[in-house]
A and B are shown apart, each in its own frame.
Chain A
Amino acid sequence: MMKDSDLFHGFLSSLSGISKLDFEVWDANGVLFLSDPDRSGEVDFEDRRAFSAHIMNHASYQRASGQGRPPMLGAPIKYGQQTIGALIACKPDSMPESRSKDGTTGKTHDAKEMETFLTHLANLMGETWANQKDVEEMAEELSQNFEDLSLYARISTHLKSLKFSGTMLGALIEELQETLRVDLSFVQMPERQEYNAMVSATGLSDRISDQNAFVDNLLGLIPRSTPSLEQDYFIVNDSGTIPEFRELCPEPYRFLAVKVGHDSHFDGWLGLVSFNMKEIFRQSELRLLQSMAKQISVLLANMDLYHELQHFVISMVKSLVYAIEAKDVYTRGHSERVNRYAMLMAERLKLDKTEKEVLNWASILHDIGKIGIPESVLNKPGSLDDEEFRIIKGHPEKGYNILEPLEQISESLPGVLHHHERYDGRGYPHGLKGEDIPFLARIIAVADTFDAITSNRAYRSSKSPEEALAIMDQVAGTQLTPDLVEVFKEVFETILKQEFETRHDGQGCGDKAIESTHRASRR
């Protein structure tokens, strides 16, 4: 009970040296200090043990003397109301029997002084011990605060990024598990299972074979309403005391779960399980978990809003595409076909996810600027005059201007603006040359060219894909990027060729057929 009694070792030893008194400190578990270590082997050692117990039981100053033994004096060491130990003093070389005959007054005086001295000393020890214990407790609490702080710091950096993914929650749970050193940490959200995460300590499988089922069962046992749930948490401090929880695992555990949700919306539970019954869930751990749950739910709400917005933009952009295609009967389905060809090329080019996303938008929107071109020009049979041609050539820039306010697709804008640049620098709008033309724009140019040749136009009818490839070969290096023409040819051979062959309409206008396969493949 009184650890670290070494606090007084030096003091008591020197005191023993000058006063000819032997000092001992005992607590309920046994002796903690002997100013004369040799005495531990003496016959009256057990008597002294009994004497210390006697002092502790009575919690008051005691005196004992007996057959031929020097008297023992002892004072209780107190910590608040509690007696935590005993300070004993004896005079080893005094001759109690002969002394007692010396004169009682002197002795009483001596004894009184002794009582005062020992009681003071014991009180001092108790106070010092209490102080030390307070400091230690504060340091312990401080240490826990440091742990929490460091966990907060690390977790908040995780939470800062809006790019929310299942793996991110996993990392969060791992941090939590590592810092709180519990046996199982999890986040379970029935309607967002893709974000569910669970981390368990090594060796947990010996206790619980099916951890998923265990967690499901635990969560299933949380009652519908209980006072703690008003603060969005549920706690089991000892599963051994609650039959339903004991049933899940014979070994006692403690369990803490905090609700994840925003407003009145419930997302799921963030929880901890520990088999370490020497400790309890602390208030700071609950607070930490609660604030994590709150942040997760805010993040989920943001993510929902973000997706909603994304969805809105997608729908809006799609209606824009339909709007231009409605104006230009000949190009119906063109944007989607160019989009598909471009994406097939992207696959072949092994572009990464972000580049694909950017290309996806750029290719579907590349002709969006045509919305600003009069139908009379768009659908004019025969050749265009200079003015009309100038108007047509304005569509990439018009498209750029239309899309510029949409932050979500800002990276796709170069693809839209430059899809009519030529490899030899004679294209429009900026006359960029070769590698100066954005890569994605050059991909779109190839896909666009192929579809233009193989589709009907106001001014000519469609050509076969083989003819188209031959033409593209001719313009590789002048109009189109040679490498990308090659890539397209590979895509054609492996995927598109077969589709064109199965289209047996002689008119060459295969828009519907492609559109339907395209749509089917996107579903």
Chain B
Amino acid sequence: MGNNKRVVVIDDDANIRRVMELKLRKGGYEVITAMNGEEGLNLIASEQPDAVITDIMMPKLDGQSLCEQTNHLKEQRPFLTIVMTNRISPDDRNWVNEMRETQLMEKPFSPSKVLARIDEYFCDK
């Protein structure tokens, strides 16, 4: 199933990074991880990922700022962003709606559902 799609996983929780890395690798994706928003931002710029999975509450740069700062990149080169949060607030919904190709998912998440979402995104393309 090697599809050469590249996914950047950004979360300060090492367990989440590990789990998502394993799950996505098994699903045929190439995975790069970052442990804070700043690292994530750099990776998105340098690696040109096809999808990004990011936490909201993170050190250095939070998920919302990360999305806002990478949103313009999607004009030229669209990619999926999945934003993970503990409790989806109306506020989160609002700003996520403003972003291109961005979806919200609630924690605790099911790794297989995240994989399914990403698969779905590329299927629809």
Q: Which residue of A lies closest to B105 (CB)?
A: A150
Contacts of A179 in B (CB 8 A): 110, 112
A147–B22 touching, CB < 8 Å: no
Which single member of A142, A150, A153, A181 contacts B18 (CB below 8 Å)? A142
A149–B108 touching, CB < 8 Å: yes
Q: Which residue of A lies closest to B106 (CB)?
A: A153
B22–A143 touching, CB < 8 Å: yes
- Inter-chain CA distance A150–B20, complex, in Å, is 14
Binary CB contact string for chain A from 124 to 168 against chain B (1 if under 8 A, 0 otherwise)? 000000000001100110110011011111000000000000000
- Inter-chain CA distance A101–B111, complex, in Å, is 63
- Inter-chain CA distance A181–B116, complex, in Å, is 13
Q: Which residue of B lies closest to A150 (CB)?
A: B110
Distance between B16 CB and nearest chain A CB, rounded to angstroms: 8
B23 at the interface (CB under 8 A from A): yes
From A135, A150, A153, residue with most partner B Cβ within 10 Å: A150
**A-B residue pairs in contact (CB < 8 Å), sample of 27:** A135-B18, A139-B18, A139-B19, A139-B22, A140-B22, A142-B15, A142-B18, A142-B19, A143-B19, A143-B22, A143-B23, A143-B111, A146-B16, A146-B19, A146-B108, A146-B109, A147-B110, A149-B108, A150-B109, A150-B110, A150-B113, A151-B110, A152-B108, A153-B106, A153-B108, A179-B112, A181-B112
Distance between B14 CB and nearest chain A CB, rounded to angstroms: 10
Distance between A205 CB and nearest chain B CB, rounded to angstroms: 23
10 nearest A-B residue pairs (beta carbon): A150-B110, A149-B108, A139-B22, A143-B19, A150-B108, A139-B18, A143-B111, A153-B108, A147-B110, A142-B19
From A135, A139, A149, A151, residue with most partner B Cβ within 10 Å: A139
Q: Which residue of B lies closest to A179 (CB)?
A: B110
Interface of A is mostly: helix
- Inter-chain CA distance A143–B21, complex, in Å, is 10
Within 8 A of A (CB), among B79-125: 106-113
Contacts of A149 in B (CB 8 A): 108
Distance between B17 CB and nearest chain A CB, rounded to angstroms: 10
Distance between B43 CB and nearest chain A CB, rounded to angstroms: 21
Q: Which residue of B lies closest to A147 (CB)?
A: B110
Binary CB contact string for chain A from 193 to 215 against chain B (1 if under 8 A, 0 otherwise)? 00000000000000000000000
- Inter-chain CA distance A12–B108, complex, in Å, is 42
Distance between A496 CB and nearest chain B CB, rounded to angstroms: 50
Distance between B68 CB and nearest chain A CB, rounded to angstroms: 27
- Inter-chain CA distance A105–B112, complex, in Å, is 61
Distance between A252 CB and nearest chain B CB, rounded to angstroms: 24
- Inter-chain CA distance A150–B110, complex, in Å, is 5
- Inter-chain CA distance A453–B87, complex, in Å, is 59
Contacts of B110 in A (CB 8 A): 146-147, 150-151, 179
- Inter-chain CA distance A149–B111, complex, in Å, is 11
Contacts of A143 in B (CB 8 A): 19, 22-23, 111
Contacts of B107 in A (CB 8 A): 150
Contacts of B112 in A (CB 8 A): 147, 179, 181
Distance between B18 CB and nearest chain A CB, rounded to angstroms: 5
Interface contacts beyond A146-B110, A150-B113, A153-B106: sample of 15 additional A-B pairs, CB < 8 Å, sorted by A: A135-B18, A139-B18, A140-B22, A142-B15, A142-B19, A143-B19, A143-B111, A146-B19, A146-B111, A147-B111, A147-B112, A150-B109, A151-B110, A152-B108, A179-B112
- Inter-chain CA distance A146–B107, complex, in Å, is 9
Contacts of B113 in A (CB 8 A): 150
Distance between A155 CB and nearest chain B CB, rounded to angstroms: 12
Contacts of B19 in A (CB 8 A): 139, 142-143, 146
Distance between A451 CB and nearest chain B CB, rounded to angstroms: 49
- Inter-chain CA distance A143–B27, complex, in Å, is 13
Q: Which residue of A lies closest to B21 (CB)?
A: A139
Within 8 A of A (CB), among B30-57: none
Q: Which residue of B lies closest to A153 (CB)?
A: B108
Distance between A391 CB and nearest chain B CB, rounded to angstroms: 54
Q: Which residue of B lies closest to A136 (CB)?
A: B22
- Inter-chain CA distance A142–B113, complex, in Å, is 15
Contacts of B23 in A (CB 8 A): 143
Contacts of A142 in B (CB 8 A): 15, 18-19
Distance between B105 CB and nearest chain A CB, rounded to angstroms: 10
- Inter-chain CA distance A147–B114, complex, in Å, is 11
- Inter-chain CA distance A146–B17, complex, in Å, is 12
- Inter-chain CA distance A136–B22, complex, in Å, is 8
Within 8 A of B (CB), among A381-408: none
Distance between A382 CB and nearest chain B CB, rounded to angstroms: 65
- Inter-chain CA distance A143–B16, complex, in Å, is 8
Contacts of A147 in B (CB 8 A): 110-112
Contacts of B111 in A (CB 8 A): 143, 146-147
Distance between A483 CB and nearest chain B CB, rounded to angstroms: 38
- Inter-chain CA distance A68–B111, complex, in Å, is 56
